[in-house]
């Protein structure tokens, strides 16, 4: 029996994870958490599972003795659970990319001390994790993250001036929570994923590429020095990476159909438009600057996306807010969680102040 603590159980990833857990006799739910909505019903349907709404989930984690923590909380709020699991050597199935983006150095150090396993749930990173398995990093030339390009692919900056919340929430290939859906429309999601990949795989930023691939069939590619490239392909369905992480290394079956190749499958790729979608460029810069710049990037983006969703900020102002914030933070590395939380709070304050209201 593998005991799973599912954090953010009421969300998009959380609900798909429940489906995987419930369909697998060897997986047992031992704890669930949610942000504001009650998760009592989920706990009631899983005898023995503890539930918690809001607050710091680490006390709950201490009490449950989970074998795997699936962190599907959205945003920086997931940081304590990420660090707790890594520090305690409990397998961390990580959907909550924001915690690794903001706290990458602390997380790596906790992983080293804890000696556990960190398995990405983000589809691109799960793909790359699988392409890399058992291979020497020396042989790797670069990692390639694929991006769908979101609902605004092909639009110019001018054409993005007036886009609405509804348009931003209409993602062409993935059905996800609101925050990540907006991030996909601005390409901040790919920016976060670039930094996430750096920390997960220990690869320098100039060896991580981003390419737009609208149909979301190729999830990730690893190029090797001999000219070979390994790609991970499949339908865009988060149950695959969730199941991979929860049943590692056995790769249990899922209801996701096999890829239909004979039906005619065309794959296309193009370069991302960094001018229309500056958040991808800004993420690379924040990542390369290091310290708490990625934390500030994430914090400002969270603040700006929330304001956009509330109708307080225009779409293009999300990137402008992040850029402006990054110019005003110190970026000093955080030596502890407290220092990281302080950097996050500082960036949020600056972002709120610098936001140009819609």
Least distance from Mg ion to the Cβ atom of residue 183, Å: 9
Contacts with ligand NAD, 50-79, as mask; x by CB under 6 A: ----x-----------------xxx--x--
Structure token pair of residue 154: 């092909």
- Smaller CB distance to ligand NAD: residue 179 or 354? 179
**Token pair in block for residue 161:** 């001036």
Listed in sequence order, the DSSP H helices in 97-253 are: 97-102, 104-114, 123-132, 157-160, 165-168, 178-186, 188-201, 239-246
Member of 176, 187, 300, 313 binding ligand NAD (CB under 6 A): 176
Q: Which of residues 90-129 bind ligand NAD (CB under 6 A)?
A: 95-98, 122
> Which residue has 């810069």 as its token pair?
285
Q: How far apart are CA 283 and CA 192, in angstroms?
A: 7
Smallest distance from the beta carbon of 167 to ligand NAD, in angstroms?
A: 18
How many angstroms separate the CA atoms of 39 and 86, rounded?
25
CB of 326 to ligand NAD, least distance (A): 20
Is residue 37 a contact residue for ligand NAD (CB under 6 A)? yes
| CA nearest to 222, candidates 146, 143, 130, 145 | 143
Decide: residue 166, CB within 10 A, 0-12 exposed, 13-18 middle, 19+ buried. Answer: exposed
Q: Which stretch binds ligand NAD (CB under 6 A): 30-38, 149-157, 210-218, 262-270?
A: 30-38
When the beta carbons of 182 and 324 are compared against ligand NAD, the nearer one is 182
Residues 325-354 close enough to bind Mg ion by CB under 5 A? none
From the list Mg ion, ligand NAD, none, pick the one residue 196 interacts with, judged by a Cβ distance below 5 to 8 Å according to partner type.
Answer: none
Which string of b and e fits 251-282 if b means at least 16 CB within 10 Å? Answer: eeebeeeeeeeeeeeeeeeeebbeebbbbbbb
Q: Tell me which of ligand NAD, Mg ion, none is bound by residue 191, counting a contact when its beta carbon lies within the kind-specific cut-off of 5 to 8 angstroms.
A: none
Contact 296, 326 (CB under 8 A): yes
Q: How far is the CB of 187 from Mg ion (least distance, A)?
A: 12
State which residue, 77 or 283, has the beta carbon closest to ligand NAD.
77
Say how many residues touch Mg ion, by CB under 5 A: 3
Q: How far is the CB of 124 from Mg ion (least distance, A)?
A: 5
Q: In what order do the strands lie in the sheet with 140-147?
A: 208-212, 140-147, 218-224, 229-233
54: left (phi over 0), alpha (psi -120 to 50) or beta: left
- Which CB sits closer to ligand NAD, 199 or 324? 199
Residue nearest to ligand NAD (CB): 11
- Pair of tokens at residue 113: 């001390």
From its phi and psi, is residue 154 left (phi > 0), alpha (psi between -120 and 50) or beta? left
Looking at the Cβ atoms of 177 and 290, the one nearer to ligand NAD is: 177
To Mg ion, the closest distance from the beta carbon of 321 in angstroms equals: 22
Q: Which of 106, 187, 238, 329 binds ligand NAD (CB under 6 A)?
A: 238
Q: How far apart are CA 321 and CA 276, in angstroms?
A: 15
How far apart CA 325 and CA 327 sit, in angstroms, is 5
Nearer to ligand NAD (CB atom), residue 77 or residue 324: 77
- Considering the rule CB under 6 A, would residue 13 count as an interface residue with ligand NAD? yes
Give yes or no for residue 237 binding Mg ion (CB under 5 A): no
Site size toward ligand NAD, by CB under 6 A: 27
Are the beta carbons of 292 and 238 closer than 8 angstroms?
Answer: no
Interacting positions 99-138 with Mg ion (CB under 5 A): 122-124
Interface positions with ligand NAD (CB under 6 A): 8-14, 34-37, 54, 72-74, 77, 95-98, 122, 174, 176-177, 179-180, 238
Interface positions with Mg ion (CB under 5 A): 122-124
């Amino acid at each position: 029996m593998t005991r799973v603590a599912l954090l953010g159980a009421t969300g998009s990833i959380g609900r798909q994870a429940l489906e995987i857990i419930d369909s697998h006799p060897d997986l047992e739910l031992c704890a669930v958490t949610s942000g504001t909505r009650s998760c009592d019903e989920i706990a009631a349907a899983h005898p023995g599972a503890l539930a918690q709404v809001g607050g710091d989930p680490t006390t709950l984690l201490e009490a449950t003795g989970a074998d795997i923590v699936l962190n599907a909380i959205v945003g920086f709020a997931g940081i304590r659970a990420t660090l707790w699991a890594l520090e305690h050597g409990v397998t961390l199935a990580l959907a909550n990319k924001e915690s690794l983006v903001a706290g990458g150095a602390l997380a790596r150090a906790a992983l080293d001390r804890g000696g556990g396993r960190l398995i990405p749930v983000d589809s691109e990173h799960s793909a790359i994790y699988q392409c890399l398995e058992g291979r020497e990093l020396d042989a790797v030339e670069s990692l390639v993250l694929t991006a769908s390009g979101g609902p605004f692919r092909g639009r110019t900056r001018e054409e993005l001036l007036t886009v609405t919340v509804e348009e931003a929430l209409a993602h062409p290939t993935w059905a996800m929570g609101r925050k990540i859906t907006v991030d996909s429309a601005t390409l901040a999601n790919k920016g976060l994923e670039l930094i996430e990949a750096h920390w997960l795989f220990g690869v320098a930023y100039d060896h991580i590429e981003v390419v737009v691939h609208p149909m979301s069939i190729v999830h990730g590619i690893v190029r090797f020095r001999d000219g070979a490239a390994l790609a991970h392909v499949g339908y865009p369905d988060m149950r695959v990476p969730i199941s991979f992480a929860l049943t590692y290394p056995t790769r249990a079956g899922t209801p996701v159909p096999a890829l239909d190749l004979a039906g005619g499958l065309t794959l296309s790729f193009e370069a991302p438009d960094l001018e229309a979608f500056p958040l991808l460029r800004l993420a690379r810069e924040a990542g390369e600057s290091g310290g708490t710049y990625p934390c500030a990037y994430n914090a400002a983006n969270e603040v700006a996306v929330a304001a956009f969703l509330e109708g307080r900020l225009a779409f293009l102002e999300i990137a402008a807010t992040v850029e402006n914030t990054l110019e005003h933070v110190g970026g000093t590395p955080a030596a502890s969680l407290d220092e990281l939380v302080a950097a996050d709070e500082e960036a949020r304050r600056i972002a709120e102040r610098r936001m140009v209201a819609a």
